[in-house]
Amino acid sequence: MCGIFLALAVGLTLTTLSLLREREARYAEAIQSEKNLQITSFLTEILGAAGVSKSLGRDATMMREILQEASEKIEDTEDIAPEVEWTLRNIIGETFLDVDEYSAASSQFSEAIELLRSMDEKSEEDFVKVLLNLASSEENRGNLKKAEPLVEEVLRRMQSNPDFDPNQIL
């Protein structure tokens, strides 16, 4: 009888500890996810200022250098999660677009698309946004033959997904 009670007590204790560890892990994951969203938002806002600076007639040479260094840093870093890397490349690409560096922007968007294609879980809106960014950079480079199929793919994806929200990409 005492052995059964002891076995039940040990089992209940181990189950409780396991549940507490799982809850703690989920909480830590949620905190990290929120941090990543804040960092991405911050970088998007800061780098987005490059386009504003250009439109105010300021020289964007330093911004181009910073973007090139950021791009090289991503290339040199081996342990960036694909979810983070595609986001960084998209932000850098958008900023390259803002400072009229269309070739560099296309390169970043192409890399982001390859990363997204390799991921099992991805947002359709995110994928379409990067496709549109690549199409825009190719159009600005004068590569309409490259831009056209990208826009067609965007339209196919939007039409085939009834839950697609165009406001997420515009």
Decide: pTM greater than 0.75: no
Q: Residues 26-33: what's their mean pLDDT?
A: 73
Rounded CA separation 1/29 (Å): 42
Which residue, 154, 129, 149, is CA-closest to 139? Answer: 149
End-to-end CA distance of the chain: 68
Which tens digits make up the pLDDT trace of 81-92? 888 889 989 999
C-alpha distances out from residue 24 to 17, 18, 21, 75, Å: 10, 10, 5, 33
154-170 per-position pLDDT tens digit: 889 888 887 777 776 66
What share of the chain in percent tops pLDDT 90? 32
The answer to whether the CB of 101 falls within 8 A of the CB of 119 is no
DSSP 6-50: HHHHHHHHHHHHHHHHHHHHHHHHHHHHHHHHHHHHHHHHHHHHH
pLDDT(27) > 80: no
Residues 33-65 as b or e (16 or more Cβ within 10 Å = b): eeeeeeeeeebeeebeebbeeeeeeeebeebbe
